[in-house]
Structure 1
Amino acid sequence: MPERASSAFARWRRRPELWLLLVILIVGTIFSVTARGFLTLPNIIDLLETYSVQAIIAMGLFVVLVSGGIDISFAATASVAQYCAALLAARAGLPAPVVIVAGLTVGAALGCLNAALIHYLRITSIIATISMMSITFSLLMYFSGGRSIYDLPDWWTTRVTFYRTELESGDIVRITLPIVVMAAVALITWVLMTRASVGRQIYAMGGNPEAARRVGAKIGLLTFFAYGYLGVLAALGGMLQAHRVGESVPNAMVNTELAVLSAAVLGGASLNGGAGTVPGVLLGIVLLAILQNGLNLLGVSSYFFQIVIGITILVSTSITVISSRRGRRHRILGEEPANG
């Protein structure tokens, strides 16, 4: 019985979610003491809404990372899908269902185009997606002239509130559409990756593509699904961003790539594929949100937060490389006696 308890503790100790939660508690305690107004319900709810778009897109990037790939073009995809939907709504006057479906379709198409370049042309995923990011964003800026669309219809810009209460301090707390959509996307992604067959196959493909192929996994379809799923969620995030700010800005989603990637790798999504969880990614988003908000309240330069993101990616990548080297060394040492 003690051995079983100790083995269970050892497994939990290796889970990144546990360490992330501890770090969040420590950092949150420090900011609650040093930053006035940090640990308040209105500030927490505001953080949830502010980072809801990044969390939604991070769910899609998580699926791609688990599959063994990487996508840097999701911010450009979100911008293009948002702007195309805004044109249909503001200029063509199309109804909400048509506009939403069209925007999601644009995102899915761009995601599947990435998958085609990676699967059929065998282009490395990071090269293919960086190229697509440059192409799609440049085309958007060229044809739009960098002009924002301010006259979005009321159905798009009107704030949707599911719950509202006024605190004794007079502050208003609202649970709005972006927060609800974020929770729904996280739940759907969790079910997809832990309860559905396609999720288990994506984990298998990311861990060992050749072994997954031998047991019948259709690598091509899984690749299209992973990148298409990210494309849909990027488009959804882009349209929700326009809903939050009340306008469609061509470059609104630019420079969010590293923050979303940091949240995913912080949550345990390995850059080698085959690892990661939805709760881990959400905790990664929470940690980044707490860090940025706390530093802002303390008056620390925003450039310092970018340093934190860069260090996060470097450390996570280093851990991934070291772990893979140790795994290969253990496999080799384990095989040597048998070969002798």
Structure 2
Amino acid sequence: MPDARTGHAPRLARLRRRPEAWLFAVILLVGALFGALAPGFLTLANVIDLLETYSVQAIMAMGLFVVLVSGGIDISFAATASVAQYCAALLAVQAGLPAPLVILAGLLIGTALGCVNAALIHYVRITSIIATIAMMSVSFSLLMYFSGGKSIYDLPDWWITRVTFYEVETASGDLVRLTLPIVAMLLATLFTWAMMTRSSVGRQLYAMGGNPEAARRVGISIGRLHFVAYGFLGFMAAAGGLVQAHRVGESVPNAMVNTELAVLSAAVLGGASLSGGIGTVPGVLLGIVLLAILQNGLNLLGVSSYFFQIVIGLTILVSTSITVLSSRRGRRHRILAEAPAHA
């Protein structure tokens, strides 16, 4: 039972650990509100369109979630996605490589950039946010310098041809399609969930994020897990970049820039703690869904896009505040609980 002197630390801790229920409730409430105010919002066609539109952000959010659970943070994943996408496009267009080699090369480039972040953090001992901001600046600047900011429009047909796994026509005449971006998002989500909940690597990542020193003492390789977490994010960022090029039919060097805060806010909104060791894949996915609903609903109502940026900023501020208050009051509770033993 919580001590009266400790305030509501357990309640705040529960809010951080199990956000799925209230997130789902908020999604239902906001969805009903926009459904009443914006005609066409609650149609199946609009819902499927939202899933496809936000599939790339969801894929990257899965990778960022793993890094956050490990106790780190990465701001460079959008630049990584841009570099991997553009390099793959060059290999496809100028070198004429076949699809399997192009996709493999793009994924390897993203993974390698993620591992560079891990090396800087683990071996050079640079704080994760500083290392990844520096890598974001270097990666994106090099991409813009060598590409000249020029887009690649003549991607091969195998890359830009729309892939539909299922199609149905609604009573209103709208076509609802289950497309490749949605399937890729579902596969990324399922794989991340399985890795984090059904493998020893996932348990070790949670342990490292919760208490790195304790994890080190029980024999967990912190360095190896850094490469796993940041390499995985690089892989997912590259996958998101390849899917993005498939969706829009071209490779634009700066297309993925400025998506960092939206993906980060979705992750923390879904319960991934910025201090590590906490979060679930369903929570992150619901965070993406909530942000998608908010942006789409506000657009349908004609509200300025700047207001959505305010929502993202407030999301990060509130989530961070809850994390800090929860950990601070948790430490106070432990100190008070241990005080009689030292008396």
The answer to whether the superposition gives a TM-score over 0.5 is yes
CA distance in structure 2 between the aligned counterparts of 1:323 and 1:91, rounded to whole angstroms: 53
Match in the other structure for 1:7? none
Shift of 1:36: 1.1
The whole-number CA distance in structure 1 between the counterparts of 2:99 and 2:171 is 38
Which residue of structure 2 aligns with residue 239 of structure 1? 242
Judge conservation of contact 2:17–2:279 (CA < 8 Å) in 1.
Answer: no
Secondary structure at the aligned position of 2:167 is classed as strand
Equivalence for 1:227: 230
1:307 deviation in Å? Answer: 0.3
Task: Give the equivalent residue in structure 2 for 1:148.
Answer: 151
* Offset at residue 165 of structure 1 (A): 1.0
Q: In the TM superposition, what whole-angstrom CA distance separates every residue of 1:8-29 from its partner, at most 9, and x where no partner exists?
A: xx96996111111111111011
How big is the shift at 1:168? 2.2
Give 2:198's aligned amino acid: R
Aligned with 1:282 (options 271, 282, 285): 285
Structure 1 segment 156-195 matched on structure 2, within 5 A:
156-195=159-198
Secondary structure of 1:162 counterpart: strand
Note the residue ranges of structure 1 that are not aligned, 5 or more in a row. Answer: 1-9
Task: Establish whether residue 116 from structure 1 lines up as the match of residue 119 from structure 2.
Answer: yes
* Matches of 1:14 and 1:58, distance apart in 2: 18
Structure-1 separation of matches of 2:20 and 2:106: 33
Q: Tell me the amino acid that sits aligned with residue 132 of structure 2.
A: T
State the alpha-carbon separation in 1 of the partners of residues 91 and 18 from structure 2: 45
1:257 alignment partner in structure 2: 260
Please say if residues 114 and 232 of structure 2, whose CA atoms lie closer than 8 Å, have aligned partners that are also in contact: yes
1:236-273 Cα shifts (integer Å, max 9, x gaps):
00010000000000000011000000000001000000
Tell me the equivalent position of 1:202: 205
2:6 corresponds to: none
Q: Match of 2:266, SS?
A: helix
Corresponding residue for 2:3?
A: none
**In the alignment, residue 130 of structure 2 is paired with which amino acid?**
I
Instruction: Tell me the C-alpha RMSD between the 2 structures.
Output: 1.3
Aligned residues with identical type, % of pairs: 81
1:1-340 alignment, distance < 5 Å: 15-340=18-343
Q: Which ranges in structure 2 are unaligned for 5 or more consecutive residues?
A: 1-12
User: Does structure 1 conserve the Cα–Cα contact (< 8 Å) formed by 2:79 and 2:136?
Assistant: yes
Where 1:220 maps in the other structure, the secondary structure is: helix
The offset of 1:169, in angstroms, is 1.5
Checking the alignment, whether the CA contact within 8 Å between 1:111 and 1:228 is kept in structure 2 is yes
Distance in 1, matches of 2:119 and 2:302, equals: 45
For these two proteins, the number of residue pairs brought into alignment is 332
* 2:244 aligned partner, one-letter code: Q
Q: Name the amino acid aligned to 1:113.
A: V
Contact preservation (8 Å) 1:12, 1:18: no
